[in-house]
Structure 1
Amino acid sequence: MAESAVSLVVDKLLPLLTQEVKLLKGVHDELVGVKDELKVIRAFLKDADSKAEKEDIGGSVKALVNQIREEAYRIEDVIDDYVLHVARRPDYRCHLLCRIASLIKTCISRHEIASEIKDIKSSLLDINDRVKRYNFIPSNQGASSSNAGRGLMDHHRLSSLFIEEAELVGIESRRDELIRYLVSGDSQRKVIAVVGMGGVGKTTLAKKVYDNHRVKEHFRYHAWITVSQSYHTTELLRSMLKGFYKAINEPFPDKKMDKDEELIEEIKEKLRQDRYLVVFDDVWEIGFWGIVELALLDHGNGSRILVTTRKKDVADFSRGFSLVHVYHIEPLPQKEAWELFCSKVFGFEFKGQCPNDLEGLSQDIVRRCGGLPLAIVAVGGLLATKKSVQEWQKVLSGLRGSAMTSDPCINTVTSILSLSYGDLPYRHKSCFLYFGMFPEDFSIKRRRIIQLWVANGLVEERSDMTPEEVGEEYFMDLIDRSLVQKDEVSVKGVPKTCRVHDMVREVILSKSEKLSLCHVSSSCSTFEGIARHLSISNRGSNPPKRSTRSQTRSIMVFDKEMLQKATVRVIFTKFKLLTSLDFEDCPIDHLPKELGNLLHLRYLNLRNTDVKELPRSIGKLHNLESLDLRFSLVKELPVEISDFPKLQHLLAHGGYATGLKIKGSFEHLEFLQTLFTIKVDDDVSLLNDGLQVLTKMRKFGICNLKREQGRYLCTVLEKMTCLRSLLVYTVNHRVEIFDLEFISSPPIQLQSLWLGGQLDRLPNWISKLHNLSKLILSYSNLMDESVEVLQALPNLKSLVLFGAFNGERLHFEGGGFQKLKYLYLAGLYYLNEMLIDEGALPLLERLEMGSCPMLMEVPSGLQNLRYLEVLSFAGMTEEFNQRWSQQESKISRHIRIHRSDGTYNPDDKASFEAWEKRKFGSWEKHMFG
């Protein structure tokens, strides 16, 4: 992690040295020297950091690593401070004495910075000398504790292998399911991969499956191989071969086999005729499959390979040469977790029953373990020795602090979870630790965390990808490594939100504290210490009297109470080197003029706040890349916003069909990728000239559009060749007609589209959108031929028709909507018949229907929807409800029915409009995040 800090500084130095910045005499050369010293030191750090994750390095080396990291932070501060002073050129509109005073002050500051850089260079030279003395070899001072750590790990794995089945909870169904995968099915060789986070019970489950008599009888040859992170190919092959000989009760041959080629040939010869099962426990890297592919051939006799791993890519990689079934194992639900806890702690003395005086504490402890069997067993073993309530309370509080690493029992849990952290690439480690900024059990938006990573320089720059795309790659890697858990998932299967397991979060906080990386403060009045990133929660009502956090680069505030203006002002005056500031869901109602002090700010999030306007000083933030004003009270942006040369994401809307009025031009916003949603007025210059420069746009929303402005919008959309998401709303969407026929080259990469307003007919270019996966049409009043076009869209997964169809008969023909999973139909006021053919909507999982006042009969063909999970009706007629009640039991055998007749009253305008706003808001969130 220190290496990451140094890399970040080197990355900052390079553009500074190449840009046309008038560096003070001598400063340029000193910075070149600093850069060179850092590059030498970085090699040592990479080695030391790597070994620190796998073994306990000596105290002197740890001290040296910490010192280097602090020097890297110090250099970053100096660089940013220097840029800050360069940016503050004197205002030539003021009188001569004012300019002279400003220049003198700036010169003094620059000389101070030059002196600081000289001092840093001297420190780095001294560090470099000590690095050479250590010769890149960490001290052996920690060897004994390292061995002890490995002993704990080995003990855990042995415990997992030999745990009695009577002690297990919730394993029977998992075990039986895996056994079925092994002993039945295709005769082609198959890989079954058990994937899950560390400590979730993968090894225990695999061992119970492997030892089952049905499995042993089904496979003549079988072997159990523990792989782990540092495996040796020759030993792995030898262990496999020994297992095969042991399975048939034959002695291992005496002949010498030292080469991999010899062992592979022997294995291939042995397995030529009979079925085999090999379990590879704890696989960490995809390179392992190369040996497996060479040695374990597919003879078409039903052989199986069972793998346990924390990393999904290990399982996926084998798809190139074998059938694969990925079996995800999740933490235990609360009921089973409680049962396991009671059997472990109270199994002997109380026959598995928790005493009344300990039940409250016990429930809290089980919740804290988050369904992780390893944690439950480890903590249970510790509690079995505790007798008093006070001792139990101490254990519970310790699960949030020092006991996580100091107590030998619980330390086993953190050691195992830390292995996954240690296996991460350097860039990913910083991103992973940033999750510690969020409160416990917080649902974290994917896009939000990625934007924060980008703003804080935590993702690497690649010429072929945007920073956000690189961040997406990091995010999915953390998901696939089972370090972060999926929460809400989109129709495309991409996680929209995620959570971090409580135990994993404690590991994050522990490591962040050691690295001075993140600090979680309980209130705004506790700004002591040093942290690069600061998270504030729990009523920051008292403004801090002092701050030593000049090094802080990002602040996140999680507070449901109104912050005092003095507290807000401190954030803007004391933390001048901030690159990201996140107030999402915090009820602040203003921003002080000191916002303009944050010249390094790249990310400002005011989503769902009470802020009504932005100060004009925002015009000074020339480094701003992302501004999120969604669901704030800001209705209009100051003209200064148009002079942001680096702005890439401007998100500003307060719900469907509402947008933000923007003053000024888009002339200098050529890098803008997100503009969602803006409000147009009668002046066509915005469409005719202003938006023409936005050729890099990926997400665009526009509302208040009039019919005659449609032609201009079409010209704009043709230039947005990278567009992925589009929302267009007319000024009065129930009456105003769209005119969107003038697009000859539509944005073919478009994935999400919402058109709100009247359409004479469906624009012909929509049929060319082969990547479209989400579509909402509201108040469009289309007819039958339009539905035929939509049915042919090859990748459409989500469709909403709200007041968008005026036909009397809606026919879903066989072969139509082949990938659709979600369908919502409402406000279809003339519909009196709905038919679903066999072969139509084959993958549909959710069908929701709202008010259709002419529809009396239940849709025909519901029984053809084999994958339907949810069927919902709301605001339907009495006749329809009566007929549905007669057929419900027959249709609902395999469908989860959700009826919500009381959701709204179509005849009550206020009730209907309130429901409509909620529903449209949820669709917008579903489609556009």
Structure 2
Amino acid sequence: MAALEESHLVGREKEKSEVIKLVTDQATEQFQVISVWGMGGLGKTTLVKDIYQSQELSSMFEKRACVTIMRPFNLEELLRSLVMQLDRESSEQRDLVGLMGSTKKTFMLMSLADLMKELAKLLGTEKCLIVLDDVSSTAEWNIIIPIFREMKNTRRIIVTTREEGIAKHCSQNQKYIYKLKVLAYEDAHNLFTKKVFKGTITMEKQYPELVEQAKLILKKCDQLPLAIVTIGGFLATQPKTPLEWRKLSEHISAELEMNPELGTIRTILMRSYDGLPYHVKSCFLYMPIFPEDHRVGRGRLVRRWSAEGYSRELRGKSAEEIADSYFMELISRSMILPSEESIYSKEGVGSCQFHDLMREIGISKSMEENLVFTLEEGCSSNSQVTMRHLAINGNWKGDQSEFESIVDMSRVRSLTCFGNWRPFFISDKMRLLRVLDLEDATGLVNHHLKHIRKFLHLRYLSLRGCEEIYHLPDSLGNLTQLETLDVRGTSMVMLPKTIIKLRNLKSLCASRKPVDEDVSCEKLLDALSGTDNKMFFLPLFSVLFCLACCAPQKIDDNMNRHDVCTIFCCYAFSTIAMNLDQYGVLVPRGMQKLKALHTLGVVNIGRRGKGVLKDIKGLIQLRKLGVTGVNKENGQELCAAIISLSRLESLSIRSEGKPGLFGCLDGKFMFPENLQSLKLYGNLVKLPEWVQWLKNLVKLKLQSSMISEPDTAIQVLGNLPNLALLHLLEESFEGKGVCLSFQQGSFVTLVVLELRLGPSFKSVKFEQGAAPKLELLKFCYVDIKSDSLSGLDSLSGLKEVMLQYNFDADEVECVRAALAKNPNRPVVKMV
């Protein structure tokens, strides 16, 4: 870590102060372990050594020692290093008081037993600080810790590690676990310029021609101190021209492998990869499928890994649950990073991103093993490329013959398209295809799916965000191995009847994009007949339109007349005729046959509600359910069906329009005790009585609820013992001038509070002792005045106040003033 010797001077003052605060915490005089963890290259060693040498700690502890754990682990060498350092400190103290008579001990010749005795003697009376740098396994820690627990005067141990799990194992009190993050951009830029130019300069003034390339290089470094210092030191010896800097930025992967001056970065990051268990390595090498800076959903990854066979059902845990544990292991080892948007989600991490340099490691290793191949601009090959996973970037402009000359389709197990889709991307030769992920692909239309029945091994199919998909072919029923079908954000009104043949289906995620007024037929029908008579003209107009358009003649390169007919008949006309809402889809009879389903939504129960609810009631494996179209006719039956779903963990209920959910969910129902997430969209007037009994509820979201008594609702919610995330969105409460009061002793587990109340919001008040664990307070679409915020200084756990969408300088100043006396010094962030 010599490369980081200078980085502690830049951008780590806050971190240094916070860790010293943990070390000097007067709340306990007893033995305590402080763990500092984060990915390789963050400068954990540099930070902790700087803390170790600080004036604040040198006066607090009589003896100190700092040891890096060697590989392979050797307890005898570890103890010998500790004894030598502690004895040197003792000798220095004796020298200061004139005690020169002691002789130097021959520690190098001591046995393990003698070293332990000597260590006990040295740690016998004074307060001591021990730093153990780079603990890499819990097994190591289990060998080390008993030695120190017997030495009562060893007051503090600081541990550094790359893994969250090890940090938690060492410091069992969450308070003493500190996660080190990448540098802020400004600090990263300052560190970079200091290394390159050997001092502080203003690059915009002195080297304006290098500014753009500097940004690109810093982006590649992703604010990782090790990379910044190493690359900055290398550039300090190179010509300072845009051409040289651009060459480095564009060929960073090759430079990491071949340039000895940058080899430190690869060596340190490779240690993290080499330390992965075999089963998790496969998951890590899967990540280069996704483009640089792409945010990948946790569920998407977990379901794909499961479909690929990377996880198996084990000891009562499903394959997806095992895959999910792999996801969290990669997060805890900092091999993938939680995306900023997901840090405060119910699960802790809802999505992730790949650090650019770690991605380079992943690309290099996956190419060595012929795992991932990305077809992108400038890509060419003299022979067919063999790969298991094919990713196609939208900027690739080749034709079909070029595609077939590059890709060996017989080996492809997964196909992922980012951007523009072309029909020849999928071929009958891909007989072993397990994953077809076309999320957010453009240009995909209905007839492109006509051959999907041939992929009999397909387990994962995602058309999420493909807005031009209005219909799935009946041949979908042939895919009997399918486990995941994700058609959220498409234009489908109903699912095909053959879907009930998919007996292995575990996750069925469906929802529609709202009707676009520009393509809606409603205005056309009104013009023809008047709104009151459109039901008379609709069938006739539909038949005439079909006769004109159903012949499958091409209209353009992608769409034929049959596609156009489907748009009108299966989408626009159906939506209008059946008066469907803008979110859910219709499902066929017989859904109860899909016994493996654990995720289902969003289902419209407004049409044929009783039959649908009877089917849902039989899906006893459901963990997640979303329904829409709720009304007074089906509301009570919905509640009865939910009661029978004993494993349900997440529930979303929606009803549009003025009646909404009013009177639909009344009653003293005992909903499943496992329910952790509840979302209610629609007019409630008052909070359902059964909400107060949801003792395991972690997340609650309300929107358009129009609750008339906010004080009563807040009091009920404040008593929920496990509520951690509360989102109060538009029109959650009725009327204007809503004042929310969080009383003393309420919301004891709340971590995130979002207030997106619009014009109805007037003020929020936190009494002393309310919401003691609140970390994030988020305001959206509210007017903040000097008297809007009260008690923010009493929120002892508050870390961040987020202001989203159009807050002016006066409102920001009001927030800062309200936080001025908060001892935590929360950050105010504009997004």
**TM-score category of the 2 structures, normalised to the smaller one:** 0.7 to 0.9
Residue type of the alignment partner of 1:533: H
String of CA shifts for 1:606-643, please: whole Å, max 9, x gaps: 11112221122211111111111111112211111111
Residue type of the alignment partner of 1:711: Q
CA RMSD, Structure 1 to Structure 2 (Å): 3.8
Distance 2:589 2:378 in 1: 37
- CA spacing shift, 1:414–1:219, aligned 2, 3 Å: same
Name the structure 2 match of 1:374: 226
Distance 2:706 2:209 in 1: 64
Name the structure 1 match of 2:36: 194
Q: CA deviation at 1:836?
A: 5.1
Answer yes or no: is 1:725 the counterpart of 2:650: yes
Name the structure 2 match of 1:596: 453
CA contact (8 A) 2:293 2:354 kept: yes
CA contact (8 A) 1:227 1:281 kept: yes
Select the residue among 320, 333, 356 that pairs with 2:184: 333
CA contact (8 A) 2:670 2:693 kept: no
Select the residue among 719, 728, 745 that pairs with 1:800: 728
Distance 2:25 2:712 in 1: 48
1:481-880 superposed matches below 5 A: 481-487=333-339, 488=341, 489-492=343-346, 494-522=348-376, 528-545=384-401, 546=404, 547-559=407-419, 562-565=420-423, 567=424, 570-590=425-445, 591-610=448-467, 611-654=469-512, 658-730=583-655, 732=657, 734-735=659-660, 737-741=662-666, 744-759=669-684, 761-777=686-702, 778-783=704-709, 785-797=712-724, 798-800=726-728, 802-805=730-733, 812-820=742-750, 821-824=752-755, 826=757, 837-844=767-774, 845-846=776-777, 848=779, 858=788, 865=795, 869-870=800-801
1:474 aligned counterpart, secondary structure: helix
Q: CA deviation at 1:764?
A: 3.0
Residue type of the alignment partner of 2:361: V
Distance 2:60 2:790 in 1: 47
Residue type of the alignment partner of 2:718: Q
String of CA shifts for 1:42-85, please: whole Å, max 9, x gaps: xxxxxxxxxxxxxxxxxxxxxxxxxxxxxxxxxxxxxxxxxxxx
Q: CA deviation at 1:718?
A: 1.4
TM-score (norm 2): 0.79
Distance 2:361 2:192 in 1: 22
1:69-468 superposed matches below 5 A: 157=1, 163=5, 168-183=9-24, 185=26, 186-249=28-91, 253-254=105-106, 259-297=111-149, 303-320=155-172, 325-347=176-198, 355-387=207-239, 389=241, 390-399=243-252, 401-468=253-320
Q: CA deviation at 1:600?
A: 0.7
Distance 2:169 2:209 in 1: 51
After the TM superposition, which of the residue ranges 651-660 and 800-809 deviates more from structure 2? 800-809
After the TM superposition, which of the residue ranges 776-785 and 636-645 deviates more from structure 2? 776-785
Q: CA deviation at 1:605?
A: 1.1
String of CA shifts for 1:390-433, please: whole Å, max 9, x gaps: 5444333320x322211112222111101111111111001011
1:652 aligned counterpart, secondary structure: strand
String of CA shifts for 1:431-490, please: whole Å, max 9, x gaps: 011111111122222221112111111124313212222222111111111222221212
2:477 aligned counterpart, secondary structure: helix
Name the structure 2 match of 1:926: none
Residue type of the alignment partner of 1:206: V
2:196 aligned counterpart, secondary structure: helix
- CA spacing shift, 1:282–1:536, aligned 2, 3 Å: same
Distance 1:834 1:216 in 2: 45
Distance 1:370 1:871 in 2: 23
- CA spacing shift, 1:343–1:251, aligned 2, 3 Å: farther
CA contact (8 A) 1:554 1:578 kept: yes
Q: CA deviation at 1:541?
A: 4.2
- CA spacing shift, 1:451–1:251, aligned 2, 3 Å: farther
Q: Note the residue ranges of structure 2 that are not aligned, 5 or more in a row.
A: 92-101, 515-581
2:820 aligned counterpart, secondary structure: coil
Name the structure 2 match of 1:124: none
CA contact (8 A) 1:267 1:296 kept: no
Q: CA deviation at 1:685?
A: 4.0
2:622 aligned counterpart, secondary structure: coil
CA contact (8 A) 2:87 2:122 kept: no
CA contact (8 A) 1:723 1:747 kept: yes
String of CA shifts for 1:680-718, please: whole Å, max 9, x gaps: 244244245322221011110111122121232122111
- CA spacing shift, 1:252–1:492, aligned 2, 3 Å: farther
CA contact (8 A) 1:334 1:367 kept: no
Q: CA deviation at 1:183?
A: 4.8
Q: CA deviation at 1:588?
A: 2.9
Distance 1:408 1:624 in 2: 48
Name the structure 1 match of 2:548: none
- CA spacing shift, 1:242–1:493, aligned 2, 3 Å: farther
Residue type of the alignment partner of 2:348: V
1:727 aligned counterpart, secondary structure: strand
String of CA shifts for 1:255-299, please: whole Å, max 9, x gaps: 897654443233123211011122211110112222332222376
Residue type of the alignment partner of 2:719: A
CA contact (8 A) 1:264 1:294 kept: no
CA contact (8 A) 2:801 2:829 kept: no
The structure carrying a bigger helix percent of its residues is 1
2:409 aligned counterpart, secondary structure: coil
Residue type of the alignment partner of 2:640: T
Name the structure 2 match of 1:4: none
2:193 aligned counterpart, secondary structure: helix
Residue type of the alignment partner of 1:530: T
String of CA shifts for 1:540-589, please: whole Å, max 9, x gaps: 44443224131111111111xx4333x3xx41423221111111111133
CA contact (8 A) 1:342 1:354 kept: no
String of CA shifts for 1:498-525, please: whole Å, max 9, x gaps: 2111111100000001011111220598
Distance 1:635 1:554 in 2: 28
1:49-88 superposed matches below 5 A: none
String of CA shifts for 1:77-117, please: whole Å, max 9, x gaps: xxxxxxxxxxxxxxxxxxxxxxxxxxxxxxxxxxxxxxxxx
CA contact (8 A) 2:786 2:814 kept: no
String of CA shifts for 1:768-806, please: whole Å, max 9, x gaps: 211112223433545354443222111223142654545
CA contact (8 A) 2:687 2:713 kept: yes
Residue type of the alignment partner of 1:840: A
Q: CA deviation at 1:178?
A: 3.7
How many corresponding residue pairs? 728
Q: Note the residue ranges of structure 1 that are not aligned, 5 or more in a row.
A: 1-156, 901-921, 923-929
1:520 aligned counterpart, secondary structure: strand
String of CA shifts for 1:803-859, please: whole Å, max 9, x gaps: 454598765433222233314363797x99976544334444426486899x99857
